[in-house]
Structure 1
Amino acid sequence: MTARRPIHGQGGVVTRFAPSPTGRLHLGHAFSAIRAHDHAVERGGRFLLRIEDIDGTRSRPEHVDTILADLAWLGLTWEGPVFQSQRLPLYQSALDRLKADRLVYPCFCTRAEIAASTTAPHGPSPAYPGTCRHLTPAQVAARIGEPHCWRLDLPAAMAVAGPLDWHDEHAGRIVADPAPQGDVVLARKDAPASYHLAVTIDDAAQGVTDVVRGIDLFDATHIHRLLQALLGLPTPAYHHHALLVGTDGERLAKRHGAPTLAAMRADGADGPALAASLRAGRLPSGFSAANA
């Protein structure tokens, strides 16, 4: 399917919807896409579609086709899509800059080693403890041929960036506090850029002014704000919306068997009517909006 008719307007607002083609969209995705779409349309702005297909082992072309068909079925219009897999030089350039500034380091720890070192007896596991951050240049040189990822040196990055904040539509001014997330991965062999790095670069490169996404990504914004400061990128306004949840109170997700839009289309459901219900809060039986 080709791109839908672009939204033209005089407003400066630019939003985006950025699904990963690793499966089919469900009602939660529809709700988020509609929120981002309407935020732009109501302000005479632009709504972009970006396909986050940087995970080459899980992304499937057939899922891209289904995503486009689903959004069209809902009655949405967009510009694009743009594919992350075609933007790898942008991510490499950003990573090279962080390397030059000595704000990232190679990490040779395996998943098993990380799990063993971060397992807590109670509660969630803490962030990566920075084991490889303390390797000497000679130790790194001796192991650089081994499989490794690149992690953000969080203490060094925070020292360079200084105090930061960002604005959320619902929560107001937020003081950035990326420390709880630790030295996050920015790139690895099977993914030239992590979600954190790619989304930060893409939003800036595409001129996104307003990031409209689920409240489940609120904590990630602390890291994104830090990367913006380190790379000299603008900071958009953030709108973290409520999530759709099932009867068990858990947010809708692929792994929980959430109904897909493709299945609803195949069953003859009315896409624009469903979109109108989601906009009005009249959600399908068994689902409700979680508080943001």
Structure 2
Amino acid sequence: MSQARLMNGNALARQTVEQAGKRAADLTERTGTAPCLATVLVGEDPASVTYVRMKQNGCRKAGITSRHVTLPAATTTEELVGTLEALSADPGVHGILLQHPVGEHIDERAAFEAIAPGKDVDGVTFASFATMSFGLPGFVSCTPGGIMRLLDEYGVDPAGKRAVVVGRSAILGKPVGMLLLARNATVTYCHSRTPDLSAAVREADIVVAAVGRPRLIHGRDIKPGAVVIDAGYNAGNVGDVDFDSAAGRASLITPVPGGVGPMTIATLLEQTVDAAARQLGLPGV
């Protein structure tokens, strides 16, 4: 079989950010207020610092104001919750991103739930998961939302297809499965206790790898012609899929980097503009 076609997340992300920028400029002109994203970082983990910087750079490109809050690594759950509640109550902030993971001593779920649903532009709260699952207005988890945009861009209709999601995290695996289900795919979740993972993946028309284990899925596991979405990112710019072997069997595949990652940030920026428009009374902008 011929080599798979690459799903270029960089190109689609540029288009998405450009469109968000135009909407942000229109919103600013009409209201005198620019959309504002507050990012919160606990500690100085190098990868997290890099991710936050990338999101701040994206804000600049889209004409979105960025407010950054850095907290010490020793910050307690109560202190973090207080910071997020204060940002939630601040009318000058339209969207809030808590960079995760946070320290193991922090109750991450309690921190997420301190974010007002109307400002949860990263789609991490219970409220966002519920509205997404029921197809109601709200915010999707950014990486799953970006994945769905990539599928649409490349003409992949999930309806009637068998989708296998490898991973069950609350902000990636579970929500992407719900979004695929809403588009009429038959969804199977696989995880660390799934017997014979390879056999399950071989049945998939769409594979979403989101488990955080480098090269877990090999080409021999891929059904010929399947669409492969690698949402993993591991040390050395390696995804959860063995790219070279999988690309020889898939019809479409996302590279790492340059596939899912850029769309995560683009979706975050797009949803920040959505949040600002709603809060400023111009939801159609």
Tell me if both proteins adopt one fold, taking TM over 0.5 as the criterion.
no
Relative to the length of structure 2, the TM-score reads 0.29
Greater radius of gyration (CA): 1
